[in-house]
Amino acid sequence: MSAKSVAKSALPKDSLELDLATFAVDYARKIGASYADARLESTAVNGFVLKNGVPQVSGFDIVQGIGIRIVMNNTLGFASTNNISREKVREAVEKAAKLTSAASRIGEKVKLSGAEAQVASYEVKQKVKLADLTPKDKLKVLFDAEKAMKATKVNVTGRFFSMSDFYTEKYFASSEGSRVLSRIPRTDFWYFVTVEEAGRTAQRYWQYGAAGGFEKITGSDFPGLLAAEVKATCNNIKKAVAAPKEKVDLVVAPQITGIMVHESVGHPYEADRVLGREAAQAGESFISAKMLGTRIGSPAVNIVDDPTVPGSFGYYLYDDEGVKARERWLIKEGIITELLHNRETAAILGTESNAASRATGYDREPIVRMANSIVKPGDYSEEELIESVKSGVFLRNFMEWNIDDKRLNAKYTGAEAYMIRNGRLAEPVWRPTIEISTPKLWSSVDAAAGNMEYHAGTCGKAEPMQAIPVWFGGPSMRIRNIRLSF
Amino acid sequence: MKKQAVVAGAGNESISKEEIAAYLVKQLRKKGADDVVVSAGTEEAVQLKFSNSTISTTQSWHSEKLNIFMAVDRKLVGTSIRSLEKRAVDDAIAKMLKFAAAAVPNKEYLGIAEGPFSYKEIPETYDKAIAGLGDKAVDILNGAINIARKNGAGRTAGVFETTVSNVYLLTSNGVEAEDKGTKAYFSVRAFVDKYASGHHICNSRVLRKFTPEASAEKAATIARQAVNPKPGVPGNYDVIFSPLPFANLLESIGKAASIFNVESKLSCFAGKLGKNVGSTEVTLVDDGSLPNGFDSVKCDEEGVPTQKNVIIDKGILKTYLHNTSTARRHKTKTTANAGIVSPNPFNLVFEKGNFNKEEMLRQVKRGLIVTNVWYTRFQNYESGDFSTIPRDGMFLVENGRVTGPVKELRISDNLVRILKNVAAVGDEPEPVFGWEVEVPTITPAVLVKGVRLTKSVE
């Protein structure tokens, strides 16, 4: 597709004026930038919240603006404005050029790795268009969840549900000739529940997000999922025993696999962390470029990050530098194989970008991010993994978790969890806590099942904060010989 | 009030934000709205982001925004628009009414504040020296990086950011207010090597009280002292929290005081009004009217003049944070903390004590100094069970003396238990705001007895 035809594939009326992006890029080049790109974006947002059965404020918004990136005197600069008149865009470019020129005397000398100019247009189709539904249609999703809570007869003292939908149109133009137009709708359902039983409480939250239309919401049985969740939580409060003190084998379900891969593999493999660019905010990494090709896990561990998974929350086909996306193999059979790169980090480490450059919106600089990070499936079933454990713990999901800022020591505290006795699930376990180093974790994983699940998250990084949609997941995994923490 | 032309769109007459706000309130009321709140604001911000002691990127932002809240028969609708052209405003009105027609009432909603109010200027919230800083920001940052280097930092990373903003508020209940502000914020993390680092933050609304070089020196000093840390041993320790990590915990406490979070079970303060939630050393205030307070503003989101609220007084929980609607529902008075949906703290202030650093250290037989934490996550917000991870320099204290840096420990404890175990409060408060502390907080160092530290299994 040619640049002209991309521009011709007109956005809806009242939407973006694509020429503005090329105007910004051309103007930046004219006043001295050696490189420039611009992202012109418009996101239509609708949001609904139900708190303990009462709808809170319902909102809609159209978040629209332009972000311009320049290289001036070999230093990187970024500017944005939500006033997309040519006058204000020109002002924004001039401001960025002036500030970046002044900064260049103590600026990092930036190089961008080579990347083929891309001209493309793509969109995610909606089977049920978000724009065709009323607020009442969308609130019904939340009221149905509320009804499901009541029907369980469980004492759910706190019920907080939210649903949002987003429709993002984005046009990327660069001084190297890239022109990429995308239209991506996303939906997001989030819950936080508190269950009380016999004077004790337990809490759970989770998120379901996807790229697509309202069918992504109606196709998920949120009332059923929530009902099962609060019943299990209640049962856990009533019947749970203390976690075993001796070393045991663990089987972790996909939600826990997902958070483990996101926190202890995805993040430390972000090359900007490796190079210290996020040192004061999201931190650095225990991984160094020298570790490529070395062993970090058992041969059973295969991990990828892939933006191109259809319908995924982190879906894109071209990143925010216009680089064509592909699956990235971070760990293959336990060996570190690839980091996540943008063009800046790739140039420093002598490689090519693998399209990990993302920004949460027009008003944020694109930085290295995950998209959809997963453990690849293995040959077992979840049942076989459980059957193989004589004495252990099965963790279905979690509540509290964290990891240090080099991604070396993590904590995952189970919510719904059960003892495994002689290969069968037995009584619930109260808050089994895995507190473990990253190499110890991945070298203790010795088998993966085939029950793939993808879960949604909103990943935080950068300053100002950029909370970006991602998927994480994988199958159930067996982790051998672990002492739980207390 | 002086009218400011903000937009002269093609084919449109010049429109002031005051005229647009008045037009919105009038039109929405005419079409059936019971309550309308309009706030029009502009913001200019500039950031120098640095890492490896060089500027990684410059960032500058310009935004214009008009936020609109409307209640019709207790159906609550919010939106914002960026274009102040009359056509865009008329479109927003039509869409809001359509949205409201298909929405569901909030039976708990009890209206917004009755104005008008008179407002006092809050000292030290605007400084033309910040507004006109321009490229001098590069010199200030360079000076701070050099100070860190002179004090032993091999490399530094962080941000230096300035903001200039103004907001105009108009409501259907007679409120009219205008405010403008400036902010300067500096966050610096200094490294001697990969595993020896220190972090410090400063912020101010006025340039003369902004101290980036002092922050750079403090961050570098911590990093220098943190070289060659030994693996920590899990167990119970008396912990001296520096202002940065204690502010992180206080932010959770301040948010837990919002009635919205209490009702949502996101708070450990439910049912505890008038009860003991901390030791007698604990007095926590929220003050939206604080001179040089980083989030100080003349009025809250519905126009009520901001005020000082004592949340915890000598260990006793005195109030939740309210807006007008939640206060009416709970038969109390607003604390001027709107958020129209969720009341929020502005500037948290932990009352200083009498202990200087040496005196506080002498209180500790076996303990730790924690200079920073990150990734605070709750197992149960209602019970207060949480964990957080010390980062940057952490130091072992034995018999009142610092005996060396340690690493790889995690605080796994309970928020209320920590408040109840506060044993000594320092005499040097510091303002904290940043990546891990979104609510501006002023606190000195605080000694907490018997904090539980855990670590990864072998």
CB burial of residue B2 (10 Å; 0-12, 13-18, 19+):
exposed
- CA dist B40 and B6 (Å) reads 10
Say how far residue A445 (Cα) sits from the centre of its chain.
23
pLDDT of amino acid A15: 58
Question: What CA–CA distance (Å, rounded) separates B348 from B257?
Answer: 11
Count Cβ–Cβ pairs < 8 Å, chain A vs chain B. 252
| Strand partners for B398 | B366, B401
pLDDT at residue A9, rounded to an integer:
46
Task: Cite the DSSP H helix spans in A1-70.
Answer: 3-8, 19-30
Q: Collect all residues with Cβ–Cβ distance below 8 Å to A228 and sequence separation of at least 6.
A: none
Is A481 within 8 Å of chain B by CB?
A: no
Q: Does B271 lie at the interface with A, CB-CB under 8 angstroms?
A: no
Secondary structure of residue B21 in the 3-state scheme: helix
CA atoms within 13 A on the CB side of A324: 7
Residue numbers of B between 200 and 259 with CB closer than 8 Å to A: none
Half-sphere exposure of A310 (CA within 13 A, CB side): 5
Phi, psi angles (nearest 5°) of residue A231: -65, -45
Spatial CA neighbour of B89 closest among B147, B37, B25: B25
Eight-state DSSP code of residue A262: I
CA-nearest residue to A285 within chain B is: B194
Rounded CA gap, A52 and A385, in Å?
Answer: 39
Tokens of A364: 């944020």
Question: Alpha-carbon torsion A277, A280, A285, A290, what sign?
Answer: positive
Positions of chain A with pLDDT under 70: 1-16
Predicted-assembly ipTM surpassing the 0.85 threshold? yes
Residue among B80, B187, B381 minimizing CB distance to A280: B187
Does the distance separating the beta carbons of B55 and A108 come in below 8 Å?
yes
| B residues 142-171 closer than 8 Å to A (CB) | 142, 145, 155, 157-159
**Residue B69 to residue A57, Cβ atoms within 8 A:** yes
Query: Does A347 reach chain B within 8 Å, measured CB to CB?
Result: no
**With the C-alpha atoms ordered B188, B190, B194, B197, is the resulting torsion angle positive or negative?**
negative
Closest by Cα among A172, A474, A187 to A311: A187
Flag if A277 and B56 touch (Cβ within 8 Å).
yes
What pLDDT, on a 0 to 100 scale, did the predictor assign at position B84? 74
* pLDDT band, residue B88 (cuts 50/70/90): confident
- The residue behind tokens 């190079």 is A275
Task: Check CB contact under 8 Å for B265 and A157.
Answer: yes
Which residue of A57, A363, A406 is in closest CB contact with B61?
A: A363
Q: Answer whether A105 sits within 8 Å of B138, measured CB to CB.
A: yes
Give the integer Cα–Cα distance in Å for B206 and A320.
Answer: 37
Question: Are the Cβ atoms of B9 and A61 closer than 8 angstroms?
Answer: no
Q: Do A82 and B63 touch (CB under 8 A)?
A: yes
Query: A441: distance to nearest CA of chain B, Å?
Result: 10
Q: Which of A83, A99, A275 sits opposite B46 (nearest CB)?
A: A99
Cβ distance A405 to B375 less than 8 Å, yes or no, reads yes
* Residue B77 sits at the chain A interface (C-beta within 8 Å): yes
Q: Tell me the angle at which helices B136-150 and B212-225 cross, rounded to the nearest 10 degrees.
A: 30
Q: Locate tokens 């604390």: which residue?
A: B335
How far off is chain B from A429, nearest CA to CA, in Å? 15
Best of A404, A408, A433, A486 to mutate (most B CBs within 10 Å, chain B): A404
Coil, strand or helix: which one is A179? strand
> B11 CB near a chain A CB, below 8 Å?
no
Which of A135, A365, A406 is nearest residue B57 as measured by Cβ atoms?
A365
Longest dimension (CA), chain B: 76
**Nearest-CA distance from A459 to chain B in Å?**
13
Interface test with A, best of B56, B160, B410 (most A CBs within 10 A): B56
Region class of B52: left (phi > 0), else alpha (psi between -120 and 50), else beta: left
- Report yes or no: B433 and B440 within 8 Å, Cβ to Cβ: yes
Task: Give residues 186 to 225 of A whose Cβ lies within 8 Å of B.
Answer: 192, 194, 201-203
Residue with tokens 């070999």: A74
CA distance B143 to chain A (A): 11
Q: Which of A103, A484, A486 sits opposite B58 (nearest CB)?
A: A103
**Residues of chain A neighbouring B380 (CB-CB closer than 8 A):** 201-203, 399
- pLDDT digit string, tens, across residues A366-390: 999 999 999 999 999 999 999 999 9
The CA-based angle B379-B382-B383, given to 5 degrees, is 70
Instruction: Give me the helix-helix angle, A86-103 and A19-30, nearest 10°.
Output: 40
Q: Which residues contact A111 (CB under 8 A, 6 or more apart)?
A: A344, A347, A348
pLDDT for B222 beyond 50: yes
Please, what are the domains in chain A?
3-239 (3.30.2290.10), 241-482 (no CATH)
**Least CB–CB distance from A57: residue in B76, B138, B457:** B76
Q: Where does CATH 3.30.2290.10 sit in chain B?
A: 128-225
* B386 contact residues in A (CB cutoff 8 A): 400
pLDDT tens sequence across B168-195: 999 999 999 999 999 999 999 999 999 9
Token pair of A170 as six digits: 């984005």
Which B residues in the span 106-135 are in contact with A, Cβ-Cβ below 8 Å?
Answer: 106-108, 135
Q: Is the per-residue pLDDT at B4 higher than 50?
A: no
Residues with Cβ within 8 Å of B295's Cβ and at least 6 positions away in sequence, in order, are B288, B346, B347, B439, B440
**Does B58 contact A100 at a Cβ distance shorter than 8 Å?**
yes
Q: Which residues from chain A sit within 8 angstroms of residue B82, using beta carbons?
A: 62, 64-65, 82-83
Residues 298-337 of A with CB under 8 A from B: none
What's the rounded Cα separation, in Å, for the pair A213 and A235? 35
Structure confidence by residue, pLDDT tens digits, B16-52: 899 999 999 999 999 999 999 999 999 999 999 999 9
Share of chain B above pLDDT 70, in %: 97
Kindly determine whether residue A85 and residue B381, on different chains, have CB atoms separated by under 8 Å: no
What would the CATH number be for the domain defined by B128-225?
A: 3.30.2290.10
Where b means 16+ CB within 10 Å and e means fewer, B226-250 reads beebeebebeebbbbbbbbbbbbbb
**Residues 84 to 123 of A: which have CB under 8 A from any B CB?**
85, 88, 91-92, 95-96, 98-100, 102-108
Residue B6 has pLDDT above 70, yes or no: no
Q: What is the pLDDT of residue B236?
A: 98
Which chain A positions have a beta carbon within 8 Å of B457's beta carbon?
435-436, 440, 482-485
Token code pair at residue B446 = 């605080």
In chain A, residues with a C-beta closer than 8 Å to the C-beta of B55 are 75, 103-104, 106-108
Spatial distance between the Cα atoms of A426 and A388, rounded to a whole number of angstroms: 14
Cβ–Cβ gap B61/A81 under 8 Å:
yes
- Say whether pLDDT at B306 is over 60: yes
As a whole number of angstroms, the distance between CA B357 and CA B361 comes to 6
Question: Helix count (H) and strand count (E) of chain B?
Answer: 10, 24
